[in-house]
Amino acid sequence: MKKRYSAVFAILLILLAIVPVFGQAAKKQLTFLFMPGVQDPFYTTMEKGVRAKCKELGVNLIVAEYPKAWGPEYQVPILQAYAQRGGFDGLLIAPTSVDALKAPLKAIYDKGIEIITVDTFIGDGDYSKPNTDYNFPLSYIGSDNYLGGKMIAEHLAKLVGEKGKVFCEATNPDASSVAARVKGFRDGIAQFPNMKLVGVEWCLDVQQKAQEQTLAALQKDKDIVGIFGTNVFSAQGANQAVVNAGLVGAIKIASWDATITNIENLKKGVIDLVLAQKPGEMGSLGVEWLYKYLTQKVSVPKKVIPGFEFFTKDNVNDPNMQQYIYQ
């Protein structure tokens, strides 16, 4: 029986060696691969931006399978399978870890494929530094998360009269974007002498966990006046905790990301402030710069930063603002 296995194995190996590589015929058209970070409304909105721009420029688009959870062990095998399949000239990716994605992306870059990271980055996100092991992507296109965190702190401070305790419900410290938001929020709150950040919790993108952690924080510090949820899941979890504790109105909640749920909560008065990133614009800009680089060899800025929009109950029904809701 052992012999039979070896024979089958040997035949397979021989076949692998002798079957010549077809394909690679004359390239008519550019093809890009879009590799999202996790299945959520933020990245589906980004995909829409990517799709629209590709259509406009006549670029073929492959959208990779959405990872079912946030983390390199989910994203890397998907990315590698698509890389193995090949057939794309440019890659737009939201890396799920600042370290773990370096090696797989370098391998793709070495094949001659151009890379732009969107929303999140590898290393410290500064691809202009020489002599690093992460300076090969063309560009990082994403929000200035630090600035966003700081602006949230300032808006929230205004809502609570610039005094009292605040709490932060974050997701995953290994994601560059989230860590920067928290740091910005911390520094933003520190500008107000009568305000104090009493805690930061990490829910690892699990809404249920965010809800439990917020509830625990509310029991520890009963006089919290403001909460900042750093992404879709943590904000929704924090909202639910405040609703369950019967503290709607007494606590001002700021939320990151203009998901439909967050916007509806804003309309109902459950939350009070929503920062909208521009995922569609990130995707669209990513496609545009990849295209310009591959067709005209223009030099691409190493960092491209789309701005923010802020939703409050006063402008949430404004027709001009509707384009910034993720859907």
Partner 1 sequence: MRTEAAKKTNNLPEMLGRNWIALFIVLLVAFFSLVTRAFFSFDTVQLIFFNGTEVFLLAIAELFVIITGGIDLSVGFVMGFATVASSKLMVACVALGLSPFWSILAASAVTLLIGLVPGLVNGWLVAYLRVPAFIATFSMLGVTHGISELLTQGVPTKNLPALAGDIGNGSFMYVAPGGVISFFSRPQVARGQTVLAIIPNMVVLSFLFIFLFAFILGKMKFGRHLYAIGGNIDAAIRSGINVKRDLIKAYVISSLFASLAGLSYVMKYITGKPDAGANMLLEAIAAVVIGGASMAGGSGTVGRTILGALVIAILETGLRIIGMQTFMTYILVGVILILAVIIDQVFPNRNR
Residue 297 found at the interface with partner 1 (CB under 8 A): no
Which pairing describes strands 90-93 and 60-63: parallel, antiparallel, or unpaired? Answer: unpaired
| 9 vs 322 by CB, closer to partner 1 | 9
Specify the 3-state DSSP secondary structure of 109.
Answer: helix
Q: Is the dihedral of CA 287, 124, 274, 215 positive or negative?
A: positive
Under rule CB under 8 A, residue 16 binds partner 1: yes
Is residue 110 near partner 1 by the rule CB under 8 A? yes
Which member of 73, 124, 126, 223 binds partner 1 (CB under 8 A)?
A: 73
Q: Is 112 in the site for partner 1 (CB under 8 A)?
A: yes
| HSE-up (13 A, CA, CB side) for residue 8 | 4
Closest separation between CB of residue 16 and partner 1, Å?
A: 5
In angstroms, the CA 269 to CA 262 distance is: 10
User: Measured from the CB of residue 66, what is the shortest distance to partner 1 in angstroms?
Assistant: 10
Q: Is 31 helix (H, G, I), strand (E, B) or coil?
A: strand
Give the C-alpha separation, 127 to 27, whole Å: 29
Segment interacting with partner 1 (CB under 8 A) among 11-19, 27-35, 225-233, 298-306: 11-19
Angle, CA of 31, 37 and 42, to the nearest 5°: 95
Measure the CA–CA gap between 281 and 305, rounded to whole angstroms: 10
- Between 175 and 225, CB nearer to partner 1: 175
For the CB of residue 187, give the shortest distance to partner 1 in the complex, in Å. 20
> CA of 311: how far to CAs of 150, 204, 241, 255, 320, in Å?
16, 25, 22, 10, 11
Q: Which one-letter DSSP state was computed for residue 79?
A: H
Q: How far is the CB of 88 from partner 1 (least distance, A)?
A: 12
Q: Using an 8 Å Cβ cutoff, are 144 and 123 in contact?
A: no
Contact assessment for residue 123 and residue 200, using Cβ atoms and an 8 Å cutoff? no
Interface residue with partner 1 among 56, 124, 126, 133 (CB under 8 A) is: 133
* DSSP 3-state of 218: helix
Query: Rounded to the nearest whole angstrom, what is the least distance from the CB of residue 57 to partner 1 in the complex?
Result: 22
Q: Tell me the window of 77-85, 229-237, 291-299, 319-327 that interacts with partner 1 (CB under 8 A).
A: 77-85
Q: Is 125 in the site for partner 1 (CB under 8 A)?
A: no
Q: Is residue 84 at the binding interface for partner 1, with CB under 8 A as the rule?
A: yes
Q: Does 71 interact with partner 1 (rule: CB under 8 A)? A: yes
Please pick, from the candidates 34, 42, 43, 82, the single residue that binds partner 1 as defined by CB under 8 A: 82
Coil vs helix vs strand at 305: coil
Half-sphere exposure of 287 (CA within 13 A, CB side): 29
* C-beta closer to partner 1: residue 206 or 232: 206
CB of 103 to partner 1, least distance (A): 4
65 binds partner 1 (CB under 8 A): yes
Footprint of partner 1 (CB under 8 A): 1, 4-5, 8, 12, 15-17, 19, 21-23, 62, 65, 71-73, 76-78, 80-82, 84-87, 97-100, 102-104, 107, 109-112, 133, 172-174, 201-202, 204
